[in-house]
Each structure stands twice: as C-alpha cells, then as structure tokens.
C-alpha cells in the first residue's frame, strides 16, 4: 500500500524531486510572505492616515480578499495576470506578448492573500503602541523616518510576531493551492508522481508529512524569535 521504495533518491525514486519541490514551496512561501508584508505595510498606512479615499480602498481590498475563497483569487491572477501586465506594458510602448512565469504568478497571488491577514496583525500591533511614545520621540526632534525605524518598528515587530507566525502558517498551507497553476511544489509533485506510479496514497502521505515538518519546524523558529524579541519584557 505505502511504497517506501518509490521515495529513494535518484532515478528509481522520487526523493530528489520531492526535495526540490519542498524547496520550491519554501521559496514561494518566503517570497510571498515578504511581498505580503510589504503590501500589508502599505495597507496599514492607507488605513491609519486620515484620508477617506485610501482608507476606503484599503478596507475594500481586505474585505473582498478575505471574503472570497483563496482559490478564486489564484484563478483571477492566474488567468488575468498576463493581461494586466501586458496592458501596463502597452502604456510604456511595449507591444509584444508577455507571459509571467508560474513562480511570479504564484508569489503575487499568495502575497495578495497573505497581505490581508498580515495587515490586520500589523494594524493591531501599531494601535497597541501608545501615542505618548510617538509624541515623546517628536519632542526629541526625531524626524518621521527615525520615528518609524527606531520607535514604531521595533515595537510593532515584537507585538506582531505571534500573529505573523500564524499568518506564516496560513501562507505556507495556502501555497498548496498554487499547484493548480502548474508550479511544481509539494502538492503538484505528489500529483505528478502518483499519476506516474499509480500510487496516490504513498505520495499524498509524503506530501502531508512534508507539510507537517515545515509547519512544525517554522513554528519552533517563530517561538525562538518571540523569546528573543521579548527579552526586555520577560517575566
């Protein structure tokens, strides 16, 4: 039932393919988490500055993306991403056919989803910083940049770390949906292998174990980071 011999490394088994697929999953997760955090910072900024239009756009974005299934967002970017990029290129006078590769589409799609979750986490931790600190920094003559990097960021990171850890887990698991676009990550690899070997159980269980390892290990990493960042506040 479970064919261990199919998982050896080399030509006879799928071990090396799965290793590459695991690295691909990690790569997509890290890239889209990074891009997602960047988008999330912009979203939070749009929500906290006193501007009705930016706040409306940011709220609309987070409400819609969190309210529709992730798969639908991935389909939208998978089928529509090329057209958007091509129409932007046309503005700059480039008329040839452009095709985004699967990794780019995957990264953008997962980042767009992950950013909505990150933005909620970041916003909550920004609001947890008392206003007095920002006023104190300003009274010391710090400019906007040093306030952001020396006062706000360190505290936001500490407050947000547990939440960001959760978002990371969600992002990691969401990358499995990317298999529908044809990018060979763990899920896609397990489908390919099981189609060749006619043994879905073996490879799907392998995929499950790989995901379990990834989530467990990264959970540990985030625990360590949390301890590290809250040193000054340890009880």
List of residues contacting other proteins (CB under 8 A): 1, 63-64, 67-73, 75-76, 78-80, 83, 173-174, 176-177, 179-180, 187, 190-191, 194, 198-201, 204-205, 207-208, 211-212, 215-216
Please give the Cα distance from 89 to 45 (Å, whole number): 28
Judged by beta carbon, residue 137 or residue 183, the one nearer other proteins is 183
Closest contact distance (angstroms) between CB of 131 and other proteins is: 27
Closest contact distance (angstroms) between CB of 17 and other proteins is: 17
Judged by beta carbon, residue 107 or residue 190, the one nearer other proteins is 190
Judged by beta carbon, residue 113 or residue 137, the one nearer other proteins is 113
Long-range contacts of 185-191 (CB under 8 A, 24+ apart): 185/21, 185/22, 185/24, 185/25, 185/28, 185/106, 186/18, 186/21, 186/22, 186/24, 186/25, 186/210, 186/211, 188/21, 189/14, 189/17, 189/18, 189/20, 189/21, 190/18
Judged by beta carbon, residue 75 or residue 222, the one nearer other proteins is 75
Judged by beta carbon, residue 118 or residue 137, the one nearer other proteins is 118
Judged by beta carbon, residue 106 or residue 137, the one nearer other proteins is 106
Token look-up 């969190």 returns 66
Please give the Cα distance from 116 to 37 (Å, whole number): 9
Token code pair at residue 67: 């309210």
Closest contact distance (angstroms) between CB of 212 and other proteins is: 4
Closest contact distance (angstroms) between CB of 72 and other proteins is: 6
Closest contact distance (angstroms) between CB of 33 and other proteins is: 16
Please give the Cα distance from 48 to 15 (Å, whole number): 48
- Output Rg (C-alpha) for the chain, integer angstroms: 21
Looking from the CA of 36 toward its CB, the CA atoms found within 13 Å total 31
Closest contact distance (angstroms) between CB of 232 and other proteins is: 28
């Amino acid at each position: 039932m479970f064919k261990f011999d199919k998982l050896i490394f080399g030509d006879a088994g799928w071990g090396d393919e799965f290793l590459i697929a695991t690295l691909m999953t990690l790569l997509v997760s890290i890239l889209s988490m990074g891009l997602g955090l960047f988008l999330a910072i912009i979203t939070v900024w749009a929500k906290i500055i006193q501007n009705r239009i930016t706040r409306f756009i940011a709220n609309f974005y987070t409400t819609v993306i969190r309210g529709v299934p992730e798969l639908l967002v991935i389909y939208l970017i998978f089928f529509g991403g090329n057209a958007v990029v091509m129409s932007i290129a046309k503005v700059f006078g480039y008329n040839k056919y452009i095709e985004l590769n699967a990794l780019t589409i995957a990264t953008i799609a997962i980042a767009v989803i992950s950013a909505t979750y990150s933005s909620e986490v970041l916003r909550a931790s920004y609001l947890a910083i008392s206003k007095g600190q920002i006023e104190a920094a300003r009274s010391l003559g710090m400019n906007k940049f040093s306030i952001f990097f020396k006062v706000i960021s360190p505290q936001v990171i500490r407050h947000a770390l547990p939440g960001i850890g959760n978002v990371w887990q969600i992002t990691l698991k969401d990358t499995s949906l990317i298999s529908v676009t044809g990018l060979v990550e763990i899920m896609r690899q397990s489908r390919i292998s099981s189609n060749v070997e006619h043994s879905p159980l073996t490879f799907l269980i392998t995929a499950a174990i790989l995901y379990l390892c990834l989530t467990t290990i990264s959970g540990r990493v985030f625990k360590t980071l949390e301890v590290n960042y809250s040193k000054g506040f340890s009880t």
